[in-house]
Amino acid sequence: MDLLDRFLGHDAWTTRGLLLQSRGLSDEQLDRPFPIGPGSLRATFDHIVWNMEAWTELMKGLPIPTHPGPAATTVPRLIERLDAAAAEFATVARRVQDEGKLDELFADPGESGVVMKTFGAGIVHVITHSMHHRAQVLNMMRQLGMTNLIEGDALTWERTHRPGGWPRSG
């Protein structure tokens, strides 16, 4: 397992874990406004998933698709979207790395024109963007009174994804 495998696996696993912990929340709790990030749990989760979906399409050389709309922001649908987006993003990221193209450029059509970015920076951006917003999600969840939240750390992810876990010394 290389660094990219660790980053991709941890990123998807942690976001999915937080979504799973949100399954029992009411619409009022999911949509309660907070003065942080996109403003609510639902909006933040959607933002994390949409960012992964959109950047993956850009790195594939395709236009950003139309957002799937409010029906795609229920917790079950967010989990489905995340699972699909994370798998596709991982495929693109691994292909780029395997082909030695991390420093090659792709087009990002922004509001002020197309900006060329490296695939490596795009991949890192998607993963660190998710991490930034997951911290906001954890803050909102705590403010909602949720307890026993996952830490979502990379060490726990790796320990649970290594065959046999981590060996003990001596």
**Residues 6+ away with beta carbon under 8 Å from 114:** 107, 108
Which pLDDT tens digit goes with each residue over 66-113? Answer: 999 999 999 999 999 999 999 999 999 999 999 999 999 999 998 789
The pair of structure tokens assigned to 160 is: 């649970």
* Residues pairing with 97 in the sheet: none
pLDDT band for position 170 (50/70/90)? Answer: low
Measuring CA to CA, which residue among 68, 79, 119 is closest to residue 96? 119
How many of the other CB atoms lie within 10 Å of CB of 7? Answer: 19
CA triple 150-151-157, angle to 5 deg: 90
How many of the other CB atoms lie within 10 Å of CB of 3? Answer: 8
What are φ and ψ of residue 116, in 5° steps? -90, 135
Which pLDDT tens digit goes with each residue over 4-48? Answer: 999 999 999 999 999 999 999 999 999 999 999 999 999 999 999
**Residues 6+ away with beta carbon under 8 Å from 73:** 42, 45, 46
Res 151: pLDDT: 85
Tell me which DSSP letter residue 64 carries: P
Domains and CATH numbers, the chain: 3-161 (1.20.120.450)
Tell me which DSSP letter residue 144 carries: T
